[in-house]
Amino acid sequence: MRYLLLLILIFSFVHTGAQQQSQSRFRIGIEYGSYKMAGEINDQWEFRQVKTRYVTQEDQTGSEHVKGEGEVYYAGLKSELSVWENRLTLTSGFRYSRVNERISPSWDAPLYLFHPSDQGIELFRVRGMNESIGYVGVPLEADFLLWGRLSNWQGYVKAGIQAGMKIHGKTTIDFASKEMEKYGDEIITAAGKAPSNFLLNTYGGLGLRLILNNGIRLSIEALFPQHFLTKDNFSLLASESYGGAQLSVSLPVNLFSMK
């Protein structure tokens, strides 16, 4: 967040007094946003949890006593073009998204992870699982003004689609005993669902925009839940999300100036 505010200040300083560019239809900008994952655990993982220390292994409870959590953070560079007397803005650029997922016990007790093997079903005592994935994507967006075309304050609705490629990813198991860590890669591989290398999702939201006198635009958006068109995007959690928020700043650039 502090980097976004710093860039806003830099952009404001560079373009102070740039009134001759304030009416430009073309802008460049930066964005930062985040949203929460719904937390539904993929069915490839099966856990058990002992309710008390006095019960036997046969009294273990099911995966409903395990919770999944996740969030997605992203930042990007974008270009904007306003058309139809500034009623419609088309946007594209490059975006880096970081996905973090966790599986942990719903209350303070050890988990037992089921793992099928040649010897049968094996149980591993774990504290949880973690996954981190990074995607580089190209978003295509359009926002349409709801009100404020001739005002410094504007409200709009946005829709977009993003295609991305995975550039890094890591899935780990937090074993209760370090001696069991050597089995981590074997268990993850046996699950059979590595994160997809390609990501495609659609999204939308409602936004509020402030246009400064020098043409700089400051925007805040409430995001609707993402809709993922590709499958097996993540190993731990299902591809479902809640809403989120996005901040962005863009500044006008006169591509056709002869000066």
Q: What is the 3-state secondary structure (H, E, C) of 199-244?
A: EEEEEEEEEEEEECCCCCEEEEEEECCCEECCCCCCCCECCCEEEE
Q: Report domain extents, the chain.
A: 2-41+67-102+130-176+189-252
Per-residue pLDDT reduced to its tens digit, 190-246: 887 788 999 999 999 999 999 999 999 999 999 999 999 998 899 999 999 999 999
Instruction: State the pLDDT at residue 7.
Output: 47
Residue 183 has pLDDT above 80, yes or no: yes
Nearest to 250 by CA among 216, 222, 220, 221: 216
Average pLDDT estimate for 248-253: 96
User: In the structure, what pLDDT confidence band is assigned to residue 121 with cuts at 50, 70 and 90?
Assistant: confident
Structure tokens at 160: 């977009």
User: What's the rounded Cα separation, in Å, for the pair 222 and 206?
Assistant: 5
Residue 97 has pLDDT above 60, yes or no: yes
Instruction: State the pLDDT at residue 122.
Output: 81
Instruction: State the pLDDT at residue 123.
Output: 85
Say which residues have a Cβ less than 8 Å from residue 145's Cβ, sequence separation at least 6: 86, 87, 88, 154, 155, 156
Instruction: State the pLDDT at residue 46.
Output: 87
Instruction: State the pLDDT at residue 146.
Output: 97
Report the percent of the chain where pLDDT is more than 90: 61
Place of tokens 């198991």: 173
The mean pLDDT value of the chain amounts to: 85
Q: What CATH number matches the domain at 2-41+67-102+130-176+189-252, 2.40.10.220, 3.30.450.40, 2.40.160.20, 3.30.70.20? A: 2.40.160.20
User: What's the rounded Cα separation, in Å, for the pair 226 and 35?
Assistant: 9
User: In the structure, what pLDDT confidence band is assigned to residue 172 with cuts at 50, 70 and 90?
Assistant: very high
